[in-house]
Amino acid sequence: MGRGRTAPRTCAAGAVCAALIAGSVVGLAPAAQAAPSVRFVDIAGEGGTVLKANVVTPAGADDAHRYPLIVLPTSWALPQVEYIAQARELADAGYVVLTYNVRGFWQSGGRIEVAGPPDTADASKVIDWALAHTPADPGHVGMAGVSYGAGISLLTAAQDKRVRAVAALSGWADLIDSIYSGRTQHLQAAAVLDGAATLTGRESAELREIFDNLYASDLTTEQQMIDWGRKRSAATYVDQLNKNGAAVMLANAWGDTVFPANQYASFYEKLTVPKRLQLRPGDHATPELTGLFGLPNDVWTDTGRWFDHYLKGTDNGVDREQPVRLKSRSAGGYEGYPDWKSVTATRRKLALTGSTTIHANVDSGADGGIVFLSSILDQVAQLPPMASMPLLPRRWAAVWQSERYGATQRVRGTAHLHTTLTPTGESGTLVAYLYDVGPLGIGKLVTHAPYTWHGRTPGAPFGVDLDLFSTAYDVPAGHRLAMVVDTVDPLYAEHNPSGAQLTFSSPEDDPSYVSVPLGEQ
């Protein structure tokens, strides 16, 4: 964004505030340049719940002029000063910016509702307050946020017609497809969220029950969890969001271990409003992180351009660019596509031939990595989780490999697994992995996904169809792809009974395969 910065006039949040705004002093403006006004306020949310907030207004702003308003709800477990550097950038660009700590966290009142009705009602109350107490323009209101703030922003835009533009960064559109995809509990991700909430906030009784049921893998409460998640998913209200007409920008990371990119891509396809989908390497909220410290950041730059066009009417060309923008995990800049379908237009099938039986309950060594750490390593050093194909024990892992490719292959989009499975138990879990395998047999993880079933007849075959997590990855010439299936991954809950076996087959009338969105570079 490149606009000059000076330190804010006031800050009442102590050491945490100082740490988060440290980046805002990078590239100080000349001393004579006026700084945006920053003040900390209390806002009465739904039911009178106190929300701690800060308001940043353009330098010299007065009630004689109206400015577009941007509301920024905080991320899960982060304090109200999270966005102070970006708020000052936006204020420099002519916006009134109000950031607030969502209910249940830090000094705000109430309990954590996980973007439930009280949270969207709070957001509308915050907009009310801003319109009454700042020089904000009621006809030009936007919302943005990272993670939790992204989810609340999307949900509020579906409920409050005043929101005309949204930038949802590293968020979710389908909560159940995020933490329970493939009908499998994402245990590490849930534990991180639960732990952070316990340390920095106050969980509601409903949320505590959801976490407990998730850990217990209690099928009798499964529908309760699904209903709870649907109420908190923008995908449930996509028709209302389309009707309200807010312009929606979605940004996420390929390796997001909390909110996988698939659910954003599916939601994007259902939107009929002005829209943009931006995906790049990283894990949960890491693509936006440097921008929170006031450093150059392409996601926040594009967020500013999005608001400049849809709130201020600036003809900056953002509406004429290819709306789907992807950055490969391997190298290079953003690639543009007219829609998500065009990303996966070219597909090739890797046949999963023969009949293979594996034993359950033991980790074969093929894993999706460690929440946050693995995808961050991939983002900064191109070091995804790895496994040796020759050394994977075939007792616990099924392995199929392609021929070597003569040219670089571009994986773009969502790979799909189709196979016939015969289990020895009525319930079970498998995890499918797609690897890029080099000449020495070392595989780098391209993508993966878990799959769980219940209520099946032991010994009876059934079809499995599983979308692996979407990605963008370049397979070098001379390498091959490998599909690996095992039953244990530390990221996920396992539902295989002790001693269970899984048999994968490929009937003539229904052959097994993995379909990969693959094209030569």
What digits encode the pLDDT tens for the residues 89-129? 999 999 999 999 999 999 999 999 999 999 999 999 999 99
Question: CB 8: neighbour CB atoms within 10 A?
Answer: 24
Give the residue among 147, 378, 328, 116 at the shortest CA–CA distance from 251.
147
pLDDT tens per residue across span 346-373: 999 999 999 999 999 999 999 998 887 8
User: What pTM, to 2 d.p., does this model score?
Assistant: 0.91
pLDDT at 36: 80
Q: What is the mean pLDDT of residues 119-145?
A: 97
Query: Are 448 and 397 spatial neighbours (Cβ–Cβ below 8 Å)?
Result: no
Judge whether residue 23 has pLDDT over 80. Answer: no
Average of per-residue pLDDT values in the chain = 92
Query: Which of 31-35, 293-297, 379-383 is modeled with the greatest confidence?
Result: 293-297
Question: CB 145: neighbour CB atoms within 10 A?
Answer: 29
Q: What is the mean pLDDT of residues 470-487?
A: 97
pLDDT at 483: 98
pLDDT at 18: 37
The three-class DSSP label of residue 380 is helix
Cα–Cα distances (Å) from 160 to 14, 128, 401, in that order, read 34, 11, 51
pLDDT at 283: 93
CA gap 297, 169 in Å, rounded: 13
pLDDT at 76: 97
pLDDT tens per residue across span 302-332: 999 999 999 999 999 999 999 999 999 998 8
CA gap 445, 368 in Å, rounded: 8
CA gap 512, 510 in Å, rounded: 7
pLDDT at 34: 67
CA gap 253, 260 in Å, rounded: 8
- What percent of the chain lies above the pLDDT cut of 70? 93
pLDDT tens per residue across span 45-104: 999 999 999 999 999 888 779 999 999 999 999 998 999 999 999 999 999 999 999 999
Judge whether residue 136 has pLDDT over 80. Answer: yes
Strands 462-467 and 416-423: antiparallel
Tell me the two tokens of residue 253.
């990371």
3-state secondary structure 80-137: HHHHHHHHHHHHHCCCEEEEECCCCECCCCCCECCCCHHHHHHHHHHHHHHHHHCCEE
